[in-house]
Chain A
Amino acid sequence: MRVTGRSLFDKVWDAHVVTDVPGGPSVLYVDLHLVHEVTSPQAFDGLRARGLPVRRPDRTLATMDHSTPTAPRRADGSLPFVDDAARAQVAKLEQSCAEFGVTLHALGSAEQGIVHVIGPELGATQPGMTVVCGDSHTSTHGAFGALAFGIGTSEVEHVLATQCLLQRRPRTMRVTVEGRLGRGVTAKDLVLAIIAELGVGGATGHVLEYAGPAVRALGMEGRMTVCNMSIEAGARAGMIAPDATTFAYLEGRPRAPRGEAWSRAVLGWRALASDADARFDREVSLDASLVAPRVTWGTNPGLGVAVDGLVPTADQAPAGERAAWQKALDYMRLEPGKPIAGAPVDVVFVGSCTNSRLDDLRDAARVLRGRKVADGVRMLVVAGSQAIKRDAEAEGLAEVFRAAGAEWREPGCSMCIAMNGDEVAAGKLAVSTSNRNFEGRQGRGARTVLASPLVAAASAVAGRIQDPRELLP
């Protein structure tokens, strides 16, 4: 344990080390374990094989989101699963949660939603906690000053059985963002700019802390968007020190502390921020005022440009990356050397744990209000949770989407991952607010351009990649 100059990460890590295995990893205690249907069935089977219980069902929370349909129930009340395997996977989660006494927000429950959306929404995610889930975008929860990271299924079993993990202390990197974001530039553009700066493997082995005035100025939803994509730079986790914005978001949420306990909790949370003399293994900084709305042109989240920029040519690739850039350009079939704005769009997706919260839907609606989705473009808007869906409907956002000709669907991962029936057909180009533009991520042969909800909505209206600043009032 370091005595002086501790970072936010150091403080959370140190407070959760149960013991150190000699010559090996630390036993790290987990405060909150989130579970979903895709990465947990083998872990529950592991417990069954060993005759073990879930050690702390009270620290375990499950939902279903990846394999679930986003179309409404059929007339006969049945759910339109994409196939029997998806139905069976969801049924298996229901059975496991019932058997092991784990709280499950199943389809049909008022709290169901994408795992990284409902944790914060319920106030289950809190500053200073360790949060894990069998899902790499668990980094989202770091927006609250939690140490939150994705784990594999074996580790899911470890946490179910012991509430602990064997972990080696990662390195730390601080990303300081000076200045402020310009008009039409959002948290999504900022994080895409950060990933482009670091590279897709640039933060491997590190936990990131996002700091600086541009980060402080973000609301919780924007902070979640930034932390969500930490993994796309290779980082296990991304964190932001909790502050008044964090506390205002959390206060009164169902699982947040109340009364006396709330005041005590806030006092502790205030002390989590990195000390002025905290040391990081690496420091990088960025100027927010130089960030434009961004889009990706390649097949990983680091390969992007400003929406008013040019698709690069393979000759511009850094040393050693020419072949990879050429492969990405060949796959994406965008014209090298030409402006990326204007490229024809087939599908637009607003959703995913990156951009499916109320502010994201408001952004999309801001552009779509009084406009139509262009002919030949299919647009899906998928709220991250039932709660967000209800709020968006109450606020009239759903009506804006429907009137524009977009599909307003049931909450879930939807077209982010193409395993639930929502997918992009081969060869089609999708502008998507999700987090991964890997080959085939949104369907075999699908071409994905990552963007903010503003860029996505503007592109839906234009039928081609479009700078939203030209459409904003």
Chain B
Amino acid sequence: MTDRAPFTSVTSRLAKLVRDDVDTDQIIPARFLKATGRAGFGAHLFADWRASEAEFPLDSGDARGASLLLAGRNFGCGSSREHAPWALLGAGFRAVVARSFGDIFRQNSLKNGLLPVAIDDATHAALVAWEGEVTADLVASELRFGERTARFEVDAFSRDCLMRGVDELGALLARLPEIEAFERRQA
């Protein structure tokens, strides 16, 4: 993966999909995983829910064009497919705000410049009712909407990578001498 645009802050209305335990098979069904590039997955985001639900929330007028997705608890549980964040990014999302995330999805998101924002229940409840714009500010590690401000946590290393728009592989490659020394000790 090459370097990407730095992430500092995003302001947008919310697209709301307030469901718990949304698994990656819903985010991008397996039959779309045969493509061997990173592009084109956005068109298949939530493909089966979109096709089967008369009023899928992300297709409502309010949700269109939003770059922030409000989800429920344990968003992105299930498989390790990185195609899930690729699909969300491809559909125009820059951040997902949720009560919690599946571990692998969270890691995959951070590595692709999709910001996972985990918030407390009170803030979550307020956002469910909120109709205006929301700012996800990575520099301040704050979510702001109306008069409210909520802090969120992103570890210092991932935050730095996101803000500089660099890939984590660089940090690992810089450690190669230590990795080689480790291998010599192990052998």
Interface residues of A (CB under 8 A from B): 18-19, 21, 23-25, 27, 29, 38-39, 41-42, 45-46, 49-50, 66-67, 83, 85-86, 88-89, 92, 134-136, 150-155, 157-158, 161-166, 168, 200-201, 204-205, 231, 234, 236, 300, 321, 324, 327, 417-419, 436, 438-441, 444-445
Interface contacts (Cβ under 8 Å), in number, total 175
The CA of A271 and the CA of B2, in the complex, are separated in Å by 43
Counting CB contacts under 8 A, is B48 at the interface? yes
Please give me the residue from chain B that is nearest to A46 by CB atom: B1
Shortest beta-carbon distance from A72 to chain B in Å: 21
Q: Which residue of A lies closest to B52 (CB)?
A: A445
Determine whether the beta carbon of B108 is less than 8 Å from that of A152: yes
Q: Find out whether the CB atom of B179 lies under 8 angstroms from the CB atom of A27.
A: yes
Interface residue B67 (Cβ < 8 Å from any Cβ of A):
no
Q: How far, in angstroms, from A46 to B168 measured CA to CA in the complex?
A: 13
Would A161 and B103 count as touching, CB distance under 8 A? no
In the assembled complex, which residues on chain B have CB atoms less than 8 Å from the CB atom of A153? 82, 108
- Specify which chain A residues have a CB less than 8 angstroms from the CB of B20 in the assembled complex: 321, 324
**Other-chain residue from B21, B26, B103, B158 in contact with A236 (beta carbon distance below 8 A):** B103
- Cα distance A150–B156 in the bound complex, in angstroms: 23
B180 to chain A, nearest CB (A): 10
The list of the 4 closest CB pairs from A to B, nearest first, reads: A24-B157, A201-B74, A41-B36, A85-B34
Kindly state the separation between the CA atoms of A134 and B81 in the bound complex, as whole angstroms.
8
Report the minimal beta-carbon distance from B71 to chain A, rounded to whole angstroms: 13
Q: Which of B6-14, B127-135, B138-146, B170-178 contacts A (4 or more CB under 8 A)?
A: B170-178
Q: Does B78 contact A (CB under 8 A)?
A: yes
Q: Which of B31, B37, B176, B183 contacts A418 (CB 8 A)?
A: B31
Residues of B within 8 A of A (CB): 1-2, 19-21, 23, 25-26, 29-31, 33-38, 48-49, 51-52, 73-74, 77-82, 100-104, 107-108, 111-112, 155-158, 167-169, 171-173, 175-176, 178-179, 182-183, 186
Nearest neighbor of A203 in chain B, beta-carbon distance: B103
- A155 with B74, Cβ < 8 A, contacts A24-B156, A445-B52 known: no
Q: Is B29 within 8 A of A164, CB to CB?
A: no
Question: Given A201-B21, A436-B25: A164 and B74 within 8 A (CB)?
Answer: no
Q: Is the CB of B77 within 8 A of A234?
A: yes
Q: Which residue of chain A is the closest to B23 with respect to CB atoms?
A: A438
Most buried by A among B51, B102, B172, B179: B172
Residues on A with beta carbons closer than 8 Å to the beta carbon of B2: 49
B157 touching A23 by the CB < 8 A rule? yes
In the bound complex, do residue B156 and residue A204 qualify as a contact, i.e. CB atoms below 8 Å apart?
no
Cβ contact within 8 Å between A164 and B104: no
B141 to chain A, nearest CB (A): 14
Q: How far is the CB of B103 from chain A (nearest CB, A)?
A: 5
The answer to whether A136 touches B104 (Cβ under 8 A) is yes
Structural contact, A201 and B100, CB atoms closer than 8 A: yes
Chain B neighbourhood of A134, CB < 8 A:
80, 82
Complex Cα spacing A42 to B1, Å: 8
